[in-house]
A = this chain, B = another copy of it.
């Protein structure tokens, strides 16, 4: 798979989003070991520092935790993952509705357009 990063948006945040959705969607299971920084750097074709920065944010969010010399792991707190997922979704929904309203579309019209797709 190719990763096409958007240049108008910090790469490390794009990586945060990728790994976050891997966790919330279950591609990465609770307790599972993450790739090493070097492996992610290769996979994403970015500078290792960029990966470090992304992972430290995930660690702040408690979505992953580090075992000192052993690697980084997905949290075992499934409740947290679930909450994170819902919070994420709600934010996206609200942002989306807000933008569409600004353009003059009501919720009903939006649903109609979605159905037609």
A111 touching B104, Cβ below 8 Å: no
Give the number of times this chain occurs in the complex, counting copies: 4
By DSSP majority rule, is chain A's interface helix, strand, loop, or mixed? helix
Report the Cα distance A15→B26, complex, angstroms: 36
A99 touching B110, Cβ below 8 Å: no
What is the distance, in angstroms, from A104's C-beta to the closest C-beta of chain B? 4
Nearest neighbor of A85 in chain B, beta-carbon distance: B103
B114 touching A107, Cβ below 8 Å: yes
A110 touching B114, Cβ below 8 Å: yes
Binding site for B on A (CB under 8 A): 7, 10-11, 21, 24-26, 60, 65-68, 85, 88-89, 92-93, 96-97, 99-100, 102-105, 107, 110-111, 113-115, 117
